[in-house]
Structure 1
Amino acid sequence: MASAASFNTGPFPSTPYTPKYDTWPYDESDFTRYDENDDGVFYRQPRLVTHIDDPSIARLTEYYGTVLPTKGRILDMCTSWKSFYPFEVKQAVQKNEMECFGVGLNAEEMKLNGVFGVEEHWRVLDLNKAPHDVRKGWEGKDVKFDAVTCVVSIDYLVKPLEICRNLLEATKEGGKVHLVISNRCFPNKVVRRWMMLSEQGRLELVGDYLHFSGWKDVEIVDLCARDESGMRVTDDHGTVLIRSPHLPDHLDPLWVVRGTKASSSV
């Protein structure tokens, strides 16, 4: 039996998201939070930790290696001190073939994230405050992205439709967004609806965010741990279903909800 660290290889199966509603089905109460205090206060102290376990980070990095460009511009939304990008992306930044940008809530964390290269490429920006637009950090500059990533943070955003709509405008035609989801969170800061749903319900919720904001070809990608034959080794909560002395009892589950900005000619 392989160790937990070896459960990192693809393929990463995807399924098309199918909307259940004809119009946006949520109201403001769905996006209230237990702690409505200013997010800047909550995130004032740097947290130099990773919010998912090492095997899931390895799977995410491998996934990124199959989908992220190595030329152009990438944005890491709600970023921190690590972006989990593969070596190829970091190498492209060093060669000036690519620029990586980031928006987050803690400057000390972002200063430590080497993928941004220069301070001009990252901004402290609270997306829960108007105008809910990643471009606010670079006003007056025509900054557009070839890809956008966001790791286990979409559940904290109280205006997801506006944010995803603005994100679409900030993305080049053919560009993609990759919203990474697990089951860890700060319960007092996630939106109310999130806490009411199953893992699959949360994936569909994020699919709704992208669909109703105009993203196309929305898909749900399963990055949960699998064995050599491609079979899942955990349930949706991350509980390991295979008894083995080489495996822990838990491996963080991981998914990506992704979408594409369609060409204007479509």
Structure 2
Amino acid sequence: MIKELPLHLKQSLPPSYFRRYDERADSAFYLYPRFTAHIDDRASAAASQLFRELLPPGGRVLDLMSSFVSHLPPEVAYRQVVGLGLNEQELANNAQLDQWLIHDLNANPQLPFEPMSFDAALCTVSVQYLTQPLEVFAEVGRVLRPGAPFIVSFSNRCFPSKAVRVWVSTNDKQHATLVRRYFELSEQFERTTFYDRSPCRWLSDPLFALVGWARA
């Protein structure tokens, strides 16, 4: 279990940034499955290509805030893909997951895994819903092996009632700056890289990603 974040890090992003229009428990919002694509086919293919380039074949992969699809390249074999999400039916229908569990990161940002137990982690088009992002990013850094990537991808689509205030109040460029700040303030990643993998801005959903590599 990682130690609590220092107060000065928590205060660097005001709590008001992470308020939401709908403050009901996320478990209630996700009580029923939503078998809908959160990005279109072109953006999904772009995410798969990024994963193809950055995820280690044969590695153990953690898929945070997972749903019924993980966008992983189908031809690549991984040792294990573990999904965390909020809806049992969605997770059970995700054929790319070898193991899954219900876990609400906003209610409990601590991950139920041993230190350095994963070779990579993903948070795909869901970072906008995190109300305690620094704690979650720090926990991801704890469970990753040194040098392992954490790929945080995002688009311009969301459930606006559940996305945090700072997200719905900013644009794509500012989203990238915000996610980079999450990486920096978590103090668990040695470097970050920004990727713009938008297939065609006017014909499909955009796709952006910030990737951080876990510190040794």
Shorter-chain TM-score above 0.5 = yes
Q: Distance in 2 between matches of 1:26 and 1:64?
A: 29
Q: Residues 74 and 80 from structure 1, CA distance in 2 versus in 1: closer, same or farther, beyond 3 angstroms?
A: same
Shift of 1:26: 1.2
1:255 alignment partner, one of 178, 201, 208: 208
Q: Distance in 2 between matches of 1:40 and 1:87?
A: 30
What percentage of residue pairs aligned between the two structures are identical?
Answer: 33
Shift of 1:216: 1.9
Q: Distance in 2 between matches of 1:188 and 1:114?
A: 29
1:28 alignment partner, one of 15, 22, 27: 15
> Highest Rg: 1 or 2?
1
1:213 alignment partner, one of 168, 186, 189: 186
What amino acid is the match of 1:134?
Answer: L
What amino acid is the match of 2:92?
Answer: K
Runs of 4+ in 1 over 6 A off after TM superposition: none
What amino acid is the match of 1:200?
Answer: K
Q: Distance in 1 between matches of 2:96 and 2:193?
A: 27
- Report the 3-state secondary structure (helix = DSSP H, G, I; strand = E; otherwise coil) of the residue aligned with 1:83: coil
Mapped pair 1:183 → 2:164: no
Q: Distance in 2 between matches of 1:254 and 1:26?
A: 25
1:164 alignment partner, one of 120, 137, 145: 137
Are the equivalent residues in 2 in contact too, given 1:216–1:262 (CA < 8 A)?
Answer: yes
Shift of 1:88: 3.2
1:128 alignment partner, one of 106, 110, 118: 106
Shift of 1:143: 6.9
Shift of 1:142: 6.1
2:94 alignment partner, one of 93, 113, 137: 113
Are the equivalent residues in 1 in contact too, given 2:154–2:209 (CA < 8 A)?
Answer: yes
What amino acid is the match of 2:198?
Answer: C
- The alignment yields a C-alpha RMSD, in angstroms, of 1.6
- Relative to the length of structure 2, the TM-score reads 0.91
Are the equivalent residues in 2 in contact too, given 1:30–1:191 (CA < 8 A)?
Answer: yes
What amino acid is the match of 1:63?
Answer: L
- Report the 3-state secondary structure (helix = DSSP H, G, I; strand = E; otherwise coil) of the residue aligned with 2:148: strand
Q: Residues 69 and 88 from structure 1, CA distance in 2 versus in 1: closer, same or farther, beyond 3 angstroms?
A: farther
1:80 alignment partner, one of 67, 74, 78: 67
Q: Distance in 2 between matches of 1:143 and 1:177?
A: 13
Partner of 1:7 in structure 2?
none
2:177 alignment partner, one of 184, 194, 204: 204
Partner of 1:223 in structure 2?
197
Q: Residues 142 and 25 from structure 1, CA distance in 2 versus in 1: closer, same or farther, beyond 3 angstroms?
A: closer
Shift of 1:116: 1.8
Partner of 2:38 in structure 1?
51
Aligned residues: 207
Q: Please, which runs of 5 or more residues in structure 1 have no aligned partner?
A: 1-21, 226-232, 235-239, 241-249
1:100 alignment partner, one of 65, 68, 81: 81
Shift of 1:204: 0.4
Q: Please, which runs of 5 or more residues in structure 2 have no aligned partner?
A: 1-7
Q: Distance in 1 between matches of 2:166 and 2:97?
A: 33
